[in-house]
Amino acid sequence: MRIVVDLNRCLGYAQCVPLAPEVLQLQGEEALAYDPNPDDSQRQQVARAVASCPVQAIIAEMDPPADRTTK
Amino acid sequence: MTTAETAWTEAMRYENRHDPYRFFDELRKTPVVQVADKVYVVTGYRELLQLAHDPHVSSDISKSPISAQPAAHAQPDVGAEHMQAYGREPSLIVSDPARHDKQRRQVMRHFAPPHSPNVIPNMAADIQSLCDDSLDKIKANGGNVFDVVDDYAYPVPVAVICQILGVPLKDEPTFHGWIFDFMAGADMGPDAATEEGQARKQKGKESTAALTAYMADLIHGFLTEPKDNVLSKLVNDKDGPDGPMTPQEAAANAMLLLIAGHDSTVNTIAHCVLTLLRHPESIELLHERPELIPKAIEEVLRLQSAVQFFPSRSVTSDIEVGGTVIPAGSAVHLLYGAANRDPRRFPEPEKFDVQRTDNQHVGWGRGVHSCVGGPLARLEVNIALETFLRRVENPRLVVDPPPYRVNQVFRGPLHLEVEFDRITDQR
Amino acid sequence: MSTQSLVDELVKTFKAQGRIVIVGASLAGLRAAEALRDAGFTGSLTIIGDEVHEPYDRPPLSKQVLKGWVPAGNTKLPRMREVNADWRLGVAATALDRDNREVLLANGDKVPYDRLLIATGVRSRQWFNPEEAKLKGLFTLRTSDDAAELQAALKARPKRVLIVGAGFIGSEMASVCRDLGLDVTVAERSSAPLVGALGGVIGDIAAKMQRDAGVDLRTGVAVEALEGDADGHVRRAKLSDGTTLDVDVVVASLGSIRNIEWLDGAELATGFWGVACDAGCRAFDINGVVTDNIFVAGDIARAPHVLYEYQFMSIEHVDAAVLGARTAAHNMVNLGRARRPHLPLPQFWSGQFGVNIKGCGVCSFGDEIVFTQGSVEDLRFAAAFGKNGRIVGAITFNHGKWLEYYGAMIERSAPFPPPPPGYDQPANAEPMSARFPDPREPTGLPDVVLTGHDPTSRGAEFRPKSR
């Protein structure tokens, strides 16, 4: 899986962090840090975190598109 | 009465509780509009966002003209009961920065990142057990009908919040009654003016007082005997940069956390089941693709926002928004439920579309007051819905629309009867 | 056939049969490719990148990668969709032949195009002394390969890290060093960190923030020389204030250089500040005439912005790559009124020392600052920047939810100072000089630079004075 967070859009609501604690961390009160290439075992957590963002700042690629062979 | 005033009154009337939205649509013709003396409502999405981020919009109850109105008049929009419900000391929901920000930090320190990142994730297993136990009980009762609200949606969140906060679950039958009375007594609609409405209001006041006393007692107990829970840590914290809360502040916020910490979750679980059963093709979709469940929940919240508005806000100076000038000192209600159906923002706003793209709904609020309990609520609703879909076979609605609770702000079904073929065993 | 239907036919044919070449295979190149396919472009698409890696996310390199949480190679960007492109990775473009419409590659290949997107971005400015630049333990940070090396060096627990340059990236790296419990010195020529982008008033706050976190911050100081040991590993740094530091790791955070060298001779409006283009991402030629078939996006683009007196702006932040790429792609497959402008409200952020710094507008366009909300002492506040009585920028420290209120004011050129909020006014809420340094000074290069009205202006010389 691959994710990227648009940190311009992210306002630090942190609705996502507790839903995927191994992939998303809060540094201080508002700054988000994320693992861009989390393990597949995190699928459910990532799906929950993506849906939870009020400003839809998390972009996730759950499976590679057909034109790419690398994970 | 103007059209807006009529629409507002109808939207608040109990007989329309199951569907206030057609009146919101009427109101939205002017997205920011006056509906009573010194009261404006906002039903437009962009307008709501603008106000939710404007530091001239105050949540401080002492600044709101509503809290100043004598409660006895029971105008359709009086929300003073809500304000007084949370104890004499204003809780964070009815405070402004810097006090709001500090209280929010103090509260969140003990169950949220960065300081306590594991509290909520660690609840997942317990939440799953609670959901499974509820269904096991329903199965053991026999029959093929149950009330999603009383038998499934309610028991899980209340047990979870009690555990996190440190409120004894054994006292639940008592405080459940008090909370129910408070909710039923805080009527912002025309029914409040009736004799029955006045009686409800009085009962609500008494129950609120009882709940306030109960919470104050509980907190004082933690001062002498600290325990490993959020409320105890709140008043005993010596390590945090903001220090402990005073017992009075803690009691006020404890009431907020207890009520808000489960009531809206109950309503959300119930609305999820209701919405899915109204759209059976979506149930098939979610069975095939359970990874869409989180999106489905957000779409339910867009259509049936658990907190429709919170009547604490007012403006500290004239604000021009959506072609209207809200005069300084006016109350302003941000109608999240209405803004979430703004056709200018959401194409086909009435449509329940699990896969809706760009669903930036405002069901959890926006700005610094956005929902503190969001992650916990989502974890509960996700697990509750997954479990329901997995174990309840062929669910069908018995009554549509179901009877609704009285409260316009924390809006949800009173009962939601569902018929089913069978309940499968736990995994 | 009417002219309009001729144009429509042209667009339709191009979408089906045209050849598009994108030079630059990072965020901007990838998002442009996706946007082209979204727009219905089914012709041939070639993406050229000098790095061997497929497009990856850079911001984590100076934060979670350096900290050791995420491996340097694990920041690959998610794909929004298939792009079905011919990827030429690990080979640089070396020249542009506009007469024959071909891009020349380092391996001798020639790649023909009908329309071209330049998205070659920037590289790190290298250490100014070529001999010293060969020392082991001396790093710059731009690529994932850089990050892998630097992460390993930090993991080895050096006795002291020296970071030269306290811009956003240098400051983030200093923050990571402190998180790792490493001793770190930051040497900054200006009076304070972040001064180029945010001015001296914010810079002083940032300086205190660094020192409170245990950073040995030296301001008004340059690094004059680095010395190595017999193994060729850096061991000492000589500062312009006469002091010498024992250091094992040196990170040169001296700003970026736009990758324009490959465009020498192509007669485009290229210079120190990048490639000048119009607000529709179409490149200007050296005379200031818009080209028809060459587009620019990302860190390398320099375009006029109506909110800033039509001055050319070069923005080194994510939106330039994402939104600029999308607009460029859209305009590459459209003509006439169907084209769109790229007119973002610039936005930026930086996570450092436990603070989320978020800003919008072009703060360095302003000369005054006023604190509007919160507490400076607590590092939780909002502040606005003004010029000539209008708000032009805003900055928040752990106050990000308020930023869009200021963004809306900037977009409508609202008065400065803004009206005071209804609550939480800072102790000092009077406008004051923001104390921006002279942009011609060697450091203090903001990430958004206003570079004047002339598309070909080259700006000042930025090589450090020789001693």
Q: What's the pLDDT score for residue C448? A: 73
Chain mean position to CA B239? 31
Contact C91, A15 (CB under 8 A): no
Q: Which two tokens stand for residue B171?
A: 């006292």
Nearest to B367 among C374, C401, C422 (CB): C401
Among B210, B167, B162, CA closest to B185 = B210
Beta carbons of C402 and B101 less than 8 Å apart: no
Three-state DSSP class for residue C412: coil
Q: What's the pLDDT score for residue C444? A: 55
- CB < 8 Å from C in window 66-125 of B: 96-98, 101
Q: What does the alpha-carbon distance between residue C67 and residue B6 come to, in Å, rounded to a whole number? A: 60
Three-state DSSP class for residue B365: coil
CA C255-C256-C258 angle, to 5 degrees, is 160
Nearest to A52 among B117, B291, B294 (CB): B294
Q: In which element (H, E) is residue B422 found?
A: strand B422-423
Beta carbons of A47 and B113 less than 8 Å apart: no
Neighbours of chain A (3+ CB pairs under 8 A): B, C
Residue B376: C-alpha distances to residues A35, B112, C10 (Å):
22, 9, 55
Among B19, B1, B58, CA closest to B401 = B19
Beta carbons of C318 and A7 less than 8 Å apart: yes
Contacting B with CB below 8 Å, chain C residues are 372-375, 380, 401-402, 404-405, 408, 419, 421-424
Q: What does the alpha-carbon distance between residue B372 and residue A58 come to, in Å, rounded to a whole number? A: 20
Report how far apart the first and last C-alpha atoms of chain C are (Å, whole number): 69
Q: In whole angstroms, how large is the CA radius of gyration of chain C?
A: 23
Q: Could you tell me if A26 lies within 8 Å of chain B, comparing CB atoms?
A: yes
| E strand residue ranges, B230-312 | none
H helices present in C284-402, as ranges:
318-332
Residue recorded with tokens 């998002």: C31
Q: What's the pLDDT score for residue C464? A: 34
Return the exposure string of B44-70: e unless at least 16 CB atoms fall within 10 Å of the residue's CB, then b: bbebbbbbbbbbbbbbbbebbebbebe
> Taking the complete model, does pTM exceed 0.90, yes or no?
yes
Q: Name every residue whose Cβ is closer than 8 Å to that of residue C455 and which is 6 or more positions away in sequence.
A: C269, C276, C284, C288, C302, C312
Q: What's the pLDDT score for residue B78? A: 35
Among chain A residues, the shortest Cα distance to B376 is held by A18
Beta carbons of A29 and B358 less than 8 Å apart: no
Q: What's the pLDDT score for residue C322? A: 96
Among B308, B334, B292, B317, CA closest to B408 = B308
Q: What's the pLDDT score for residue C453? A: 65
How far does the CA of residue C406 sit from the closest CA of chain B (Å)?
9
C290: left (phi over 0), alpha (psi -120 to 50) or beta: beta
Q: In whole angstroms, how large is the CA radius of gyration of chain B?
A: 21
Beta carbons of B98 and C408 less than 8 Å apart: no
Q: Dihedral angle at the C-alpha atoms of B72, B77, B80, B83, nearest 10 degrees?
A: 170
- Which of C405, C410, C412, C425 best tests the B interface by mutation, with the highest count of B CBs <10 A? C405
Among C224, C219, C217, CA closest to C242 = C224
Beta carbons of C422 and B101 less than 8 Å apart: no
For CA atoms C211, C212, C213, C214, give the dihedral sign. positive
Contact C124, C141 (CB under 8 A): yes
Q: What's the pLDDT score for residue B11? A: 96
User: What is the CB-side half-sphere exposure of residue C32 using CA atoms within 13 A?
Assistant: 35
How far does the CA of residue C175 sit from the closest CA of chain A (Å)?
11
Beta carbons of C318 and A6 less than 8 Å apart: yes
Q: What's the pLDDT score for residue C449? A: 73
Beta carbons of C78 and A32 less than 8 Å apart: no
Chain C residues whose CB is inside 8 A of the B366 CB are: 401
Q: What's the pLDDT score for residue B191? A: 85
Nearest to B113 among A26, A50, A55 (CB): A26
Q: Give 10-residue mean pLDDT values along chain B (427 residues).
A: 90 96 97 96 98 97 73 36 58 95 97 96 97 97 96 94 94 91 85 89 89 91 95 96 94 91 93 98 97 98 96 96 96 98 98 97 97 97 98 97 95 97 92
Residues of chain C with pLDDT under 50: 458-467
**ipTM given for this complex:** 0.97
